[in-house]
A and B are shown apart, each in its own frame.
Chain A
Amino acid sequence: MAAAIPVGSADDAVAALRESTPFGEAPGALLARIAAIARPARYGAGERIYTAGDPADDIFVVLSGRADHVFASAVGAREPLKRVKRGGVFGWAGLLLGQTKRLATVTAAEPTEVLRIDTEALVGVLESEPLAGGHVMDRFVAMIQREFTVPAVLAQVRRLAGPVTEEMSRLALTMYRLSLWLKSPRPYLMLVGFALFLGFWYLAVEVWKLPRFREMPGVTSVVKEWLSPNPTYGLSVYTEEYYQHILVSIWRVTKAFFLATVLGVSFGLLLGWSRAFKEYVFPVFETLRPIPILAWVPLAIVMFIATESAVVYLAFLASFFATALNTMLGVESIDESYIRAANCLGASRWQVFRHVIIPGALPFIFTGLQISVGVSWFSLVAAEMVSGQYGLGYVINTSYMMVRYPTIIIGMVTLGIVGYATSAMVRIAGDYLMEWRVRELALAER
């Protein structure tokens, strides 16, 4: 083994740890403590770092260069050979349950610099911060199984001694993530951002009374009105009417969105699936599409006797185009080889549709649905402003007519909140249906 020569700086050690799978998400303070117990070492090309069967003492983190990590055949790793580069971690056998010997032989393939961390010392540091430490251990398991392809039976790590390490509960994990977030500068910058925004609004309108701004409702008057049990202009969180408007708008969007999803998805699937259908129908679709949905407003009023239908129709039309188009693109984006593979495996045309086309198009469909909710609100507001009774767009427009300025802002903010909530719901539904994709993306981010 080469003599330990100091290499790299402490900063670089922390940076390398942060690039590694197990330590990548650990808080900076913990990384600094781990870096403090790490000793740098350097190996020449072809030099043996350790041999399978040696006592498992140190864990190695690669700073630069490359090492070849070859498992002893008894380990049963699916990929016996792994090349470890910067940010790679090896020599973790000491962390495994009941394991005291090296499982692999590691050789430096080129001049390689590493950090050596004593296993017991590391466990000590991790135990002192059970939550973050437990997370590091979990990530070790994931790395050993996925990156080193060691069978799950073998890849069981020692439990950290300590109070909270049993099973990191969901709540604890959330709290831990929250604490990480609170330690980062992000929440404070966010507060600064909102303070600047609201502060400017307050000062410009109510204190400095700048020209033009003077006419606008001030932030305090809006909030006061919104939270007042006896609102001056008749609309606040305490009035029944407020919720009635919200419900009417949501109900309209729901109807439009539901109809657009059912019709748009099936129409889009057909467009993508059958070439003849697309060639017949798509030109009409493309001719109608450039007409802005909102230009339909008067015609919709004329076409429908019930105003209610006209409003829903406008919201529907916007959603429909977005959903159908994205569904079609989704079907067209499916790799031909998936369909061929299904044919090879003896799937019928309907089975291909059900098991390949639909799930394959799902990511695009949900992108489309997210856009669809957005545009649905977008045109609903316009329709309600022009021709509605009830609904948030109506509130905004009538408040303007009747000079109830604070209520305009209440309507706008409420719209923002409700619109955001509905699109979040679509996103959650999508993640639920496409677990495979969520997991794939999570892996890709690492």
Chain B
Amino acid sequence: MKKFLSSPAFWRGAVSIVVFIVLWEIGARSKQWMAPEFFAPFKEMLGVMGFKKDYLPWIGAVPAPSKVLASWLGVLAQPGYWQSWYMSFFRVMSGFIAAMIIGIPFGLALAVSRAAHGIGFPVFEVLRPIPPLAWVPASIIFWPTQELAITFITFLGAFYTIVINVLGGARSIDVRYFQAAQSMGSSRWDIFRRVILPGTLPSIVLGSAVGMGITWEVVVAAEMISGGGSQQAGVGGGLGFFIWNSYVGGSYEQIVVGMISIGIAGFVSSELLRWGGRYATPWLKAR
């Protein structure tokens, strides 16, 4: 750790993050398109290439990091903010756990049984390219509560990834393991339990980590599109709704606060998952 703190890699990283924040602060305060005269030739060049002014991002519209920080400190004291964390976490977890409970057996069934694969996989492949968010309206129509609708969308987000990873993982198990197990007289069930299941575990972990990332993507959008879930009062509808509500209410600092909060939430849950995964597959860290 000490070594890391004194390495050039750490300092370079620190420098670049500081520079990024400073540039952001300056850009946000300048309240102009890009920056003053300094960028004029650049703008002209873009104009020649067919870019219009409105096509370009306006950093001036983004709140400055100092203001974001101030607003964040203010928000920390509000129970509504924490309520949003809780709501989003709850939805992500329920959708994610449902996806594990349904997705892992489904993936294993596709891998083990030729008939299941023949019947189930084509339908699965046809549904898979439809982005989960396209399901939002249909989901709202179908499920009795908005809460369930959002959970269903998050479930979909993780489900496809988990199934594909489980299937791929089970298929890529070295044939020799099966032969070894058979030659030692294992039954079909033993092979499933002692070869296929542990052999697929690394892929399950990987698929879950990716699925977790998608789940956070989806929950945010689902909350924005569906307008926050059960509670209609401004706060308490999850972090996605927190962002959307801040946008509608014109408090742009809070948009960024919400974005960073979701980034942290997603990062923490992925790390937790990875950590759990390492615990579940101790043989992988041998080298």
Complex CA distance for A188 and B218, rounded to whole angstroms:
35
Contacts of B216 in A (CB 8 A): 292
Asked if residues B54 and A304 are in contact (CB atoms below 8 Å), the reply is: yes
Asked if residues B54 and A282 are in contact (CB atoms below 8 Å), the reply is: no
Contacts of B119 in A (CB 8 A): 189-190, 192-193, 196
Asked if residues A279 and B8 are in contact (CB atoms below 8 Å), the reply is: yes
Listed stretches A80-88, A97-105, A330-338, A411-419; interface member: A411-419
A396 proximal to B (CB < 8 A): yes
Asked if residues A303 and B130 are in contact (CB atoms below 8 Å), the reply is: no
Asked if residues A290 and B122 are in contact (CB atoms below 8 Å), the reply is: no
For A, the interface residue count at a CB cutoff of 8 angstroms equals 68
Residue of A at shortest CB range from B58?
A: A303
Question: Chain B at the A interface: mostly helix, strand, loop or mixed?
Answer: helix
Asked if residues A185 and B118 are in contact (CB atoms below 8 Å), the reply is: yes
A163 proximal to B (CB < 8 A): no
Contacts of B115 in A (CB 8 A): 185, 189
B120 proximal to A (CB < 8 A): yes
A296 proximal to B (CB < 8 A): yes
Contacts of A408 in B (CB 8 A): 137-138, 141
Contacts of A381 in B (CB 8 A): 131, 133-134
Asked if residues A299 and B17 are in contact (CB atoms below 8 Å), the reply is: no
Q: Which B residues from 44 to 64 make CB contacts under 8 A with A?
A: 52-59, 61-62
Listed stretches A32-40, A133-141, A223-231, A305-313; interface member: A305-313
Contacts of B264 in A (CB 8 A): 290
Asked if residues A382 and B225 are in contact (CB atoms below 8 Å), the reply is: yes
Total CB contacts across the A-B interface at under 8 A: 196
Complex CA distance for A408 and B142, rounded to whole angstroms:
13
Asked if residues B144 and A212 are in contact (CB atoms below 8 Å), the reply is: yes
Q: Which B residues from 258 to 283 make CB contacts under 8 A with A?
A: 258-260, 262-264, 266-267, 270
Given A193-B120, A294-B217, is A281 in contact with B16 using a C-beta cutoff of 8 Å? yes
| B13, B62, B133, B262: most-surrounded residue (chain A CB, <10 A) | B133
Contacts of A194 in B (CB 8 A): 122-123, 126
Given A298-B244, A304-B55, A397-B225, is A385 in contact with B133 using a C-beta cutoff of 8 Å? yes
Complex CA distance for A295 and B129, rounded to whole angstroms:
22
Contacts of A292 in B (CB 8 A): 216-217, 220-221, 262-263, 266
Asked if residues B58 and A304 are in contact (CB atoms below 8 Å), the reply is: yes
Residue of A at shortest CB range from B269?
A: A290
B55 CB contact (under 8 Å) in A192, A309, A386, A413: A309
Give, as a whole number of angstroms, the nearest-CB distance from A247 to chain B.
18
A293 proximal to B (CB < 8 A): yes
Give, as a whole number of angstroms, the nearest-CB distance from B188 to chain A.
19
Give, as a whole number of angstroms, the nearest-CB distance from B152 to chain A.
12
A295 CB contact (under 8 Å) in B59, B121, B142, B220: B220
Asked if residues B134 and A303 are in contact (CB atoms below 8 Å), the reply is: no
Complex CA distance for A190 and B20, rounded to whole angstroms:
53
Complex CA distance for A193 and B133, rounded to whole angstroms:
24
Residue of B at shortest CB range from A378?
A: B131
Complex CA distance for A189 and B127, rounded to whole angstroms:
17
A74 proximal to B (CB < 8 A): no
A412 CB contact (under 8 Å) in B54, B130, B258: B130
Contacts of A385 in B (CB 8 A): 133, 136, 221, 225
User: Could you list some 9 contacts between A and B, CB below 8 A?
Assistant: A193-B119, A196-B123, A280-B13, A292-B266, A294-B221, A299-B252, A385-B133, A396-B136, A412-B138
Top 9 nearest A-B pairs (CB, nearest first) are A189-B118, A400-B137, A298-B247, A283-B13, A294-B221, A291-B263, A193-B119, A279-B12, A416-B130
Given contacts A306-B52, A382-B131, A392-B134, 13 further A-B contacts (CB under 8 A): A189-B115, A190-B118, A193-B118, A194-B123, A281-B16, A291-B259, A294-B218, A299-B256, A302-B247, A309-B57, A400-B136, A400-B141, A419-B130
